[in-house]
Amino acid sequence: MFIGWDWATETHDVRVMDASGKRIDRWELAHTEEGFAKTLARLRKHGAPTDLPVAIETTRGLAVDRLLAAGHPIVPVHPNAFHAMRARWGASKAKTDAGDSMKLADYLRTDGHLLPRLEPTEHATLELQALTRTRADHIEAKVAAVNQLAALLDDHWPGGKAVFAGLDSDIAMAFLERYATPTMAAKLTAGRLEAWCKRRGYSGNKSGSVLIERLRAAPKAASRLTDAVIEQLVRVQVQLVQGIRATIRTLDKAIAEAAQAHPYAPLFATMPRIGRVSLGQVIGEIGPILERSQTCEQLIAEAGVVPVTRASGRSRTVAFRFATNRRARLALTTFADNSRHGSPWAAKIYTDARARKKRHPHAIRILARAWLRVMWACWRDGTCYDPAIHHANSKIKTPIDTPLTA
């Protein structure tokens, strides 16, 4: 039996098909506990869950989690690949929920042997992945909030923006909370400003005279808002930035604790410049790919640090890989970029790539590819990273690691 599952936010459509392509069963279910319970019970009437693979156009979500928990093999189908296959069932490429569940079941029946099945990610890795992804979302929110604050100051108090740019982030937030309007800062002198900064632990990169000169030299805003309104706007925005920064600090602590307790942590923790958050990101994003990869070359391809080669006849192009796990590539390339500042081996690979006229992003991907071979060797052998072992010949390869076709 083959199951096609067309998923949505409110209702799902399920189709059961036999090996000859005949429809055995079909129904719709609501996105409720009752709907899922009845559907799983109805599927069990057609056989054991392990014998009922399900094709679905996603790799995550409630439906996938419930099906995996029930024991069904999950065959994720990329929406773009599925759309390209629609012409098989008609030139019009018509789309309905019932039609999609039928097409998914038929696609699984005819091509299921070519499609990889979803393997459940280790629980600790899944938790670490969720923490690091939430942190990335909060970082984006913080950048947006800081940009909004800068735009607000530019419109209503350019002098405050000039001082804000010259202070450490914590001191800058405290300054804007204390001096939220030009009127509040009008009586500031270089000595008072320097003393105020010193009491709050300012590093002293900019003297009070430099900061006060920035404040005085900035143009005056022609804002038609009253000081009371400007004060409220600035302080509310500062509170928003401080609130997001507090959540990021909380997540950083949780990520550090989760990464330290993860079984993969000893393998990668000694890599150069891989700080606690970066270690969590690498384990959370690269870990699931490591667990399902059959070869090192498959790992490199799925992480998105190898180009795509298209060759036909005399035509041959090598292009950037877009269809990949972008979060994994970002986590890996961020670590690789940092590592070249702490490892002569990594620095040489990067420098050699730049000497071959590679642009910085390309050179970083080349370095990331070398690090993935090291990670693969550490994970495969269960050995902790050791430069004396893992930097031999600049790459790690074994006879069983046969390269995949790009």
Q: What is the pLDDT of residues 60-79, one digit of tens each?
A: 889 998 999 898 999 999 88
Answer for the pair 54, 73: CB distance below 8 angstroms, yes or no. Answer: yes
Q: How confident is the model at residue 48 (pLDDT cuts 50, 70, 90)?
A: very high
Tokens of 59: 């790799």
CA 147 to chain centre: 22
CA 328 to chain centre: 6
Collect all residues with Cβ–Cβ distance below 8 Å to 364 and sequence separation of at least 6: 333, 336, 337, 350
What's the start-to-end Cα distance of the chain, in Å?
Answer: 33
Provide the pLDDT for residue 182.
87
Residue range(s) occupied by CATH 1.10.287 in the chain = 126-256
Identify which of 269, 257, 315, 295 has the alpha carbon closest to the alpha carbon of residue 376.
295
Provide the pLDDT for residue 403.
41
Answer for the pair 283, 265: CB distance below 8 angstroms, yes or no. Answer: yes
Distance CA 45, CA 34 (A): 17
Q: How confident is the model over 190-248, as pLDDT tens digits?
A: 888 888 888 888 877 788 888 888 888 888 888 788 889 999 999 999 999 999 999 99
pLDDT of residue 130 exceeding 70: yes
Answer for the pair 193, 116: CB distance below 8 angstroms, yes or no. Answer: no
pLDDT of residue 140 exceeding 90: yes
What DSSP string runs through 279-328? HHHHHHHHHHHHHH-SSHHHHHHHTT-SPEEEEETTEEEEE---SS-HHH
Distance CA 146, CA 140 (A): 10
Q: How confident is the model over 348-366, as pLDDT tens digits?
A: 999 999 999 999 999 999 9
Q: How confident is the model at residue 392 (pLDDT cuts 50, 70, 90)?
A: low
Q: Is the pTM of this model over 0.85?
A: no
Provide the pLDDT for residue 225.
86
pLDDT of residue 187 exceeding 90: no
Provide the pLDDT for residue 104.
92
Residue range(s) occupied by CATH 3.30.420.40 in the chain = 2-114
Tokens of 146: 């800081």
Distance CA 228, CA 234 (A): 10
Give the CATH fold of the 126-256 domain: Helix Hairpins (1.10.287)
Q: How confident is the model over 262-311, as pLDDT tens digits?
A: 999 999 999 999 989 999 999 999 998 998 888 999 899 999 998 888 88
* Other Cβ atoms within 10 Å of 356 Cβ, number: 10
Answer for the pair 287, 122: CB distance below 8 angstroms, yes or no. Answer: yes
Assigned CATH for 2-114: 3.30.420.40
Could you list the beta-strand ranges (E) of 22-99.
23-30, 54-56, 74-76
Distance CA 9, CA 61 (A): 10
* Helical residues (DSSP H) of 157-226, grouped into ranges: 158-166, 169-178, 190-199, 208-217
